[in-house]
Amino acid sequence: MQPLGGRRFTRGVAATLAALALSAAGQEYPSRPIRLIVPFAPGGTTDLAARLLGEGLRERLGQPVVVENRPGGGSVIGVETVGRAAPDGYTLLFGESGGMAVVPAIKKKAPYDPVRDFSAIGFVAHSPHALAINSKLPVRSLAGFIDYAKARPGKLNYGSSGPGSPSHMITGLFALQAHLDMVDVPFKGGSQALPALIAGEIDMMIIGPTGLTPFVEAGQLRVLAQTGRTRHPLLSSVPTMAELGTAVTIGREIDVTSWFGIFGPVGVGRPIVSSLNRQITAVLAQPAVQKRLIEVGCEVQTMSPEAFAQFVAAENRKWAQVITAVGINRVD
């Protein structure tokens, strides 16, 4: 199979020809439905956010935006589906930090380059992670948890979404900075790890904020801290690690939130990229959209295509640093 990078020139020519054909036919973009690929199964935060944005774009663009779930391979299948599509603006990716920053950093031979093989169109939102523990642990603060874990090297365990997942690397980075020795218990996803945390099968987990409140109110979980530079509205009473003086750092503070954005294959024409970016920004400016995104654990953030491309490049460098610092082995 030809690598994505090997077709960049061909796709660039195709995009130019497609733009000329549309111009000659008097058509404006979009003139038909748009596919929005989500590289995960339905129901998660990524899927919910994509559907919310897709509905807003449908109203503004006057064409259906069909969300298509392509899970598998830790998001690789969905990402590659878009990478191999025609660069005409009709196949887009609702990408996130795992597939567009973590996967390329942890793979020995990355199947794609998120900077060279894709067109960055628009940033959508970011989401922090919460450090949650089973309430049976006799600690009520982050400092207390660190002291408790230090006194029990190798005795506490934490859940993750598998080797190399953001939850695995963020927890590993936290443990490295706090000088903790804990055991990783991998799951296939956060939705499977959360019940194990509630049941006390694992002691702690760094996980997204969505859905934690009922278990905190029921006394089953405690949320001790959150990552990111500012407090998320769903966790307004929970301090950030930076506030507590335990910022996750590698020589400097690092924002370890998850993020979401829209990408196209490399070679999407500048007029289409600019138009989509404007429409995405307009949808995200709506108070109802912002409120719903907060409810699923996200906060709106927009960028120009140029700023978004630079952000993605920086994220890839960051996660490569994290992998090295935590000592995670790169995978095939």
Domain ranges of the chain: 4-126+257-326, 130-235
- Reported as type and span, the H/E element at residue 325 is helix 305-326
pLDDT at 6 (0 to 100): 57
* Residues β-bridged to residue 159: 185, 205
Reported pTM? 0.81
User: Tokens representing 126?
Assistant: 């970011």
> Which CATH code for domain 130-235?
3.40.190.10
| Residue 9 near residue 17 (C-beta atoms within 8 A) | no
pLDDT at 248 (0 to 100): 59
Superfamily of domain 4-126+257-326: Bordetella uptake gene, domain 1 (3.40.190.150)
The phi-psi region of residue 219 (left if phi > 0; otherwise alpha if psi is between -120 and 50; otherwise beta) is: left
pLDDT at 142 (0 to 100): 93
Is 130-235 in the same CATH topology as 4-126+257-326? yes
User: Tokens representing 306?
Assistant: 């140029």
pLDDT at 24 (0 to 100): 37
Strand segments (E) across the chain:
34-38, 65-69, 91-96, 118-127, 130-134, 157-160, 183-186, 204-207, 221-226, 258-265, 299-300
pLDDT at 23 (0 to 100): 40
User: Tokens representing 164?
Assistant: 């190399």
pLDDT at 310 (0 to 100): 97
Low-confidence ranges of the chain (pLDDT < 50): 1, 9, 14-15, 18-26, 250-252
pLDDT at 254 (0 to 100): 53
pLDDT at 318 (0 to 100): 86
DSSP 262: E
Q: What are the pLDDT digits (tens) for 122-180?
A: 999 998 889 999 999 999 999 999 999 999 999 999 998 777 677 888 888 888 888 89
pLDDT at 291 (0 to 100): 95
Distant-in-sequence, close-in-space partners of 153: CB < 8 Å, separation ≥ 6: 180, 181
83-122 residues labelled b (16+ CB within 10 A) or e (exposed): bbbebbbbbbbbbbbbbbbbbbbbbeebbbbbbebbbbbb
Q: What are the pLDDT digits (tens) for 191-220?
A: 788 999 999 999 999 988 888 889 999 999
Angstrom distances, CA of residue 159 to CA of 119, 199, 320: 34, 12, 22
